[in-house]
Chains A and B, each alone.
Chain A
Amino acid sequence: MLSSLQRLGHNALGFFQRLGRAHLLLLRILEGQPALVPKFSLVIQQLYSVGVLSLLIILVSGTFVGMVLGLQGYNTLVDFGAEESLGVIVALTLVRELGPVVTALLFAGRAGSALTAEIGLMKTTEQLSAMEMMAVDPIRRVLAPRFLAGFLSMPLLAAIFSAVGVLGGYFVGVGLLGVDQGAYWSQMQANVDLYDDIYNGVIKSLVFGIVVTWIAVFEGYDAVPTSEGISRSTTRTVVHASLAVLGLDFVLTALMFGE
């Protein structure tokens, strides 16, 4: 009984310590952002490995999610004779929810885990220590550009996901199922609001970008420097980032669309 209480206390302390370290790290990463301006090529490099390399999975998933939405939406709406609203359903679902959320989940799996593994490996092979001894701050040189790249990539990826999804829905709804193409677009335009829907969607993906990249970078930097430690950190990145995205999505949705 007492020992299980002790274990609880031990775990809680460990958790808060990690939380504290994570926040300190975030602070130092943010502190390092201005120094990136003259070294933007570092960020470009990371935009490539974080953004461009995630492009394919985003394009493919976006298209299929849009097509499924088109199919499902049509089948439901046609019962009410409201298949003209297909565009609205597809666009709102994508722009408000699925675009930011699914992109963030895919991003956590594709780019987040890669970031963690890369940084963890650099730690394990003493590359980070070596940088420190060369008077180069690894947080500024390694973590800060990766963080910025993640933050910038996420909204772009989410926008691409939503745009491709709308086209996928168009392909199924208009191309295959015969919804009127004018109705698809005009209903969409009449009911999707720039501020309420698109803008809020972008805000969501910015927040997800920060959180997912933060978790990924922290887990890598905080990894136990063994191969087992890296693999555990990588798993934790995906799990924690996904949970954080889903939890935050609820909070953000309640704040934005709750009224």
Chain B
Amino acid sequence: MMNSRLVEIWVGIFVAAGLAALFMLAMQVSNLSTYSNDEGYEISARFQDTSGLKVRSPVTMAGVTIGRVKNIHFDEQTFEAVVTLRIEDQYREVLPKDTSASIYTAGLLGEKYVGLEPGGAMKVLGQGDEIRLTQDSLVLEKLIGQFISRFMDDSGDN
């Protein structure tokens, strides 16, 4: 049997390596560094179509991630999708009241995200406020459909 001091040192190394690996997976591999749990405040936005958007999709302004999608649900009254956005605490009381929200795609086939564009109002959005101006997710099939029908119309004119 090995002497118990050496055994303990080895076990110490093993446990430290295991915890370091877990730590690396959390910090370096996953989105923990961009994760802010209950910090921040929530605003909501209504869309006709949110297809492709997911909970925890990024919310960006000028290309910088300032929050995450917290929740998406369907409103039976208006047949709209209500998206709750959690904005990080450091951006509290800076988004103008007339900020608009759009759903964009990163790259042609990439992930959907919510892009915010600031308006010019003096008042700011706070906890629970709703964004009025929204633009829906672009659905590729619809786009192609529109393109084809316009193309048909064009060729019909000639």
Q: Name A's B-contacting residues (CB within 8 A).
A: 41, 44-45, 47-48, 51-52, 55, 91, 95, 153, 155-157, 159-160, 162-164, 166, 185, 188-194, 197-198, 202
Contacts and interface: CB of A to CB of B under 8 A. Distances in A.
B124 interface: no
A135 to B, nearest CB: 24
Interface of B: 2, 4, 7-8, 10-11, 13-15, 17-22, 24-26, 28-35, 56, 58, 111
A157 B28 CA distance: 18
Contacts of B19: 156, 159
7 contacts: A47-B15, A51-B11, A52-B13, A55-B14, A95-B25, A159-B25, A160-B17
B24 A163 contact: yes
Mostly helix, strand, loop or mixed at chain B's interface? Answer: helix
Contacts of A155: 18, 22
A47 B25 contact: no
Contacts of B28: 166, 185, 189
B15 A156 contact: yes
A51 B14 contact: yes
Contact of A189 (B10, B17, B22, B34): B34
B33 A189 contact: yes
Nearest to A197: B30
A188 B4 CA distance: 41
Contact of B29 (A45, A95, A160): A95
Contact of B22 (A159, A166, A197): A159
A213 B24 CA distance: 26
A198 B24 CA distance: 11
Given A156-B15, A156-B19, 17 more contacts: A44-B7, A48-B7, A156-B21, A159-B21, A159-B25, A162-B29, A163-B24, A166-B24, A166-B25, A166-B29, A185-B28, A188-B29, A189-B31, A191-B111, A194-B31, A194-B35, A198-B29
Contacts of A55: 14, 17
Contacts of A197: 30
Contacts of A44: 4, 7-8, 11
A193 to B, nearest CB: 6
B97 to A, nearest CB: 30
B11 A162 contact: no
Contacts of A193: 30-31, 56
A48 B18 contact: no
A163 B19 CA distance: 11
A44 B13 CA distance: 12
A190 B31 contact: yes
B32 A194 contact: yes
